[in-house]
Structure 1
Amino acid sequence: MNKILVSWYAYNNDFMIEQRGNQKRNMGFVNEEGPTFTVHKYFWTSSKFEKHIILNSNLSKEDKGKINLLKTELNKNFKDHSIEIKDVAITDPINVSEIFEKLQSLLAELTDNEIEIFISPGTPAMQTAWYLLGTHFKKNITLFQIRAKEFTKEKVKPEKIVVSLDSSVLPTNIVVAQKTIEKDKTSKDILLTESLEPIYERAKMIARTNDVGCLILGENGTGKENLAQFIHNNSNRSDKPFIAVNCAAFSDDLLRSELFGHEKGSFTGADSKKIGVFEAANGGTVFLDEIGDISPKMQVSLLRVLQSKKVQPVGSTKEIDINVRVLAATNKDIETMCEEDKFRTDLFYRLAVTELKLPALRERGKKEVIALINHFNKLLSNRFQKNDLLKISKEALERLSAYGYKGNVRELENMFIHFYTFCDKEINVPDLPKRVSESKSITLTLADNEKQHVLKVFNLNKGNILATSKSLDVHRDTLKRKLQEYGVRESKE
């Protein structure tokens, strides 16, 4: 069992700071008295650490440059110390729930190791998340802080202080955060409008089962991962890891390694053993996003795992039992892919034990678009720590509510990030992206949706009136009248 040190990098304290009046400026020089240097200098050998994973929450070019500079200086001074930089993107550094979920997935990958977490670097919310994860995982995890040498009895060197995880001595803010996370089973970022409520009710029914899978369908940006997370959070697996994998982001070989793991030396670049997602999420949930993009070869491998509930890491001859709920999602017409032999039918049936389909934003009607506009205005106001909501001019609101949103809810949310970045008090038409300000209204009404559905079914039935009327469960005369209204003149009985 390896002993691994994990910590955030300290944006300010790991670097020299210049004080000018009330202003502080990061000088860009590594502070050899900072927390990260200190733990390597005084506690690496005595603690028998074998690797230090330094976490970076800000993926900006500036931060990446600084953390790489920190690693370079550590490597110069401590040549035999193994150091790995790992990006953990955090959109809101004071959101304990977000930080908790991201770190939970990270620690799940390291559960076969002895882990010591240096909790001093990072925001108070990050420290709170470490406390919660310590009480959550318990096994093989130790939390510690460092007391500066000037506050020790001898005043010679710093002192390592192990943090007690006994619930009776946890700080009040930790207990409150724990209750908040447990209570908030639906992400506050999700607005359950009228069209989503029945979908999330069915998701609750899936969550009540122990291992029933679900295939989530919908265009990009409709909230498929949020729905998968909701199922996990409301299930009896919620205290175990939820790990999401974007299958389209990996080649076959890399996806196999990501999902099933690999042994050291199993291929070029495999310098150490890797625990696969299925094993790391044991007891929890694996979410396979973009499942429609995996190759036929990978489809066979995945089908075998779902049938046997075992994985075989790359380069290993042994199989490992797994216990996970598998949720999958795609933006593709996967049934048509099955008909065209582009996706295995047997794998489709394994994944689609239950199905949920999320509607595109343009199909949800103007009322829901306006509700989401107000929702994201409030959400981003809190996230950007603004005292007041941005006002929206009447003309701007009309354009926003009429726009078609090809990127769906994600596009609308990103638009408000844009507004809160560049607008001071009010959103006006010139503040809108050009694609919005110059677009024609394509938001669909109920009648538009009906027309779209009728014509789709009519085309699927190759223009056959009788077959279409049966599929739609309407009288032939009613269907003929509708088709005449839509300007469809030629049709077959």
Structure 2
Amino acid sequence: MSRILIIDDEAGIRLTLGEGLKDFGHQVKAAKNSMEAYKVNSEFSPELIILDLNLGFENGLDLIESLRESNPNVQIIILTAYGDIKSAVTAVKKGVFDFLNKPFDIDELQFIIEKALDMKIMKNKIYLHEKEKQLNKVNFIGESHVIRNMLDDLLKVARMNDVTVLIRGESGTGKELAAEYVYSNSPRADKPYVKVNCAALPANLVESELFGYVKGAFTGADKEKIGLIEAASEGTIFLDEIGEISTEVQAKLLRVLESKKLMRVGSVKEIPVDVRVIAATNKDLVEAIKQGEFREDLYYRLNVFPVNIPPLRERIDDLGLLIRHFLKVYSAKFGKKIEASDSFIEAAGKYSWPGNVRELSNIIERLCILSSDRVLKDSDFTMFSDGDRGLDKAIKDFDLPEGFDLEEEVARIEKGYITEAMEMSGSNVSKAADLLNMSRYSLMRRLEKYGLN
């Protein structure tokens, strides 16, 4: 249900149009002149206004600026029996969504309303992203040689307005951050930026989400919808996990890159789009081509300027800076003062970091949640590291001794971790249970079992 304000000097139009829109499920208010319109607009805060061009002694176009002052995101549709090209051009310049002549068909008007509200939603998403981008400036932490070289490459390609970029790297290395860095430093930085996680889209919806669709294109397509590529027109679209889309969708994406045009699902009409594409993947696309999972022609179109994001294990010199950065961020978030000792950073440097910077961020955040104000030591890190450290490494490296008792060994390891968790939490059972990812009740039973009460 949407809030709609009708501004028309004819009582019959206000009544019949209002009833018709209510039948479609909208919440409707009406006004006959500018004084009423300003009052209702301020109190009702409509999402869409249907405005008559001729309001007796008033011109509807003169109301637009004042209406937007109190409701800047409202969509406006002009209704008039006096439509002409000059009025239409003036209306468009004032930001009117569409222009419809009387007499009109209520179904046609409803179709235009749906398109206007879809555009409002899309614009709001883009606006929210822009606000988020202003609050969280794109910032790579690191001074290592590999990071400096990577940033130089990103800055060079960012300034090339239309060059397609392919960002490659393991999960958690910062591919999305790299894409935002390119966008933020490009000539399109003041235009829309649309992020799409291709792996998160259901396979049967990828095509319609990217390219949009027309009414009746498939079951459930009861209205027209613009796609994400079209929404990014004049700006940039970031296609994360590009290796996850089907070869059929790859073919359509290739046509967009080659012709700068797209067709919505169910349509034969080509729509011009001016959009820069940044793609990212953690897959080996060359191998995917050999397996028939990725189109070779699309790969070469995307791979115009490849950028490799180094894994954390290859930029270990940046580890201290990253740890201190995340401690500063999460300490401020949770109102604490937590620092890292040299021994903590040294212990972290011996870890292989399979989850890369994302894993480091998660570990530091969890430590900040569970720790009181203090300096972290090497044993604090051991509690949270996975992969090649801790138990996995012990199991890989040991020889099975004579007289080995598995239950005793498991009990010894379990007791050791519980003891460490209790020390880290200051003997707070609830916090220790969180550290060990177990219920408080389960931990209390084990404390009793090992005599650690």
Q: TM-score, normalised by structure 2?
A: 0.56
SS of the residue 2:146 aligns to:
coil
188, 197, 201: which one pairs with 1:246?
197
Alignment partner, residue 338 of structure 1: 289
Alignment partner, residue 149 of structure 1: none
Cα–Cα, structure 1 residues 265 and 424, in superposed 2: closer, same or farther, change >3 Å? farther
Cα–Cα, structure 1 residues 4 and 383, in superposed 2: closer, same or farther, change >3 Å? farther
327, 330, 348: which one pairs with 1:400?
348
264, 267, 274: which one pairs with 1:316?
267
Task: Work out whether 1:262 is the aligned partner of 2:220.
Answer: no
The answer to whether the 8 A contact 1:115-1:140 is kept is no
Larger radius of gyration: 2
The answer to whether the 8 A contact 2:142-2:318 is kept is no
Alignment partner, residue 165 of structure 1: none
Paired amino acid for 1:299:
Q
RMSD (Å) for aligned C-alpha atoms: 3.5
Q: Which runs of no fewer than 5 residues in structure 1 stay unpaired?
A: 6-41, 52-113, 118-136, 142-176, 442-493
The answer to whether the 8 A contact 2:243-2:294 is kept is yes
Superposed, 1:13-412 pairs within 5 Å as 49=47, 115-116=73-74, 139=95, 181=134, 187-188=138-139, 190-191=141-142, 193-365=144-316, 367-386=317-336, 388=337, 390-412=338-360
Q: Which runs of no fewer than 5 residues in structure 2 stay unpaired?
A: 6-39, 50-71, 76-92, 98-129, 394-453
Q: TM-score, normalised by structure 1?
A: 0.51
User: Which segment drifts farther, 201-210 or 334-343?
Assistant: 334-343
Separation in structure 1 between the aligned mates of residue 211 and residue 304 of structure 2, nearest angstrom: 22
SS of the residue 1:196 aligns to:
helix
Separation in structure 2 between the aligned mates of residue 217 and residue 290 of structure 1, nearest angstrom: 10
Paired amino acid for 1:352:
N
Paired amino acid for 1:413:
S
Alignment partner, residue 425 of structure 1: 373
**Structure 1 residue 326 displacement after superposition:** 0.4
SS of the residue 2:357 aligns to:
helix
Separation in structure 2 between the aligned mates of residue 181 and residue 306 of structure 1, nearest angstrom: 29
Cα–Cα, structure 1 residues 45 and 372, in superposed 2: closer, same or farther, change >3 Å? closer
**Structure 1 residue 267 displacement after superposition:** 2.3
Cα–Cα, structure 1 residues 292 and 214, in superposed 2: closer, same or farther, change >3 Å? same
Cα–Cα, structure 1 residues 209 and 418, in superposed 2: closer, same or farther, change >3 Å? same
Separation in structure 2 between the aligned mates of residue 190 and residue 360 of structure 1, nearest angstrom: 13
Cα–Cα, structure 1 residues 234 and 3, in superposed 2: closer, same or farther, change >3 Å? farther
Q: Which has the higher helix share?
A: 2
Task: Work out whether 1:438 is the aligned partner of 2:390.
Answer: yes
* Percent of aligned positions that are identical: 41
Separation in structure 2 between the aligned mates of residue 379 and residue 49 of structure 1, nearest angstrom: 37
Alignment partner, residue 461 of structure 1: none
Paired amino acid for 2:311:
A
Cα–Cα, structure 1 residues 218 and 138, in superposed 2: closer, same or farther, change >3 Å? farther
The answer to whether the 8 A contact 1:191-1:375 is kept is no
Cα–Cα, structure 1 residues 232 and 139, in superposed 2: closer, same or farther, change >3 Å? farther
1:209-241 C-alpha deviation (Å, 9 max, x unpaired): 110011111001111111111111001100011
Separation in structure 2 between the aligned mates of residue 403 and residue 213 of structure 1, nearest angstrom: 35
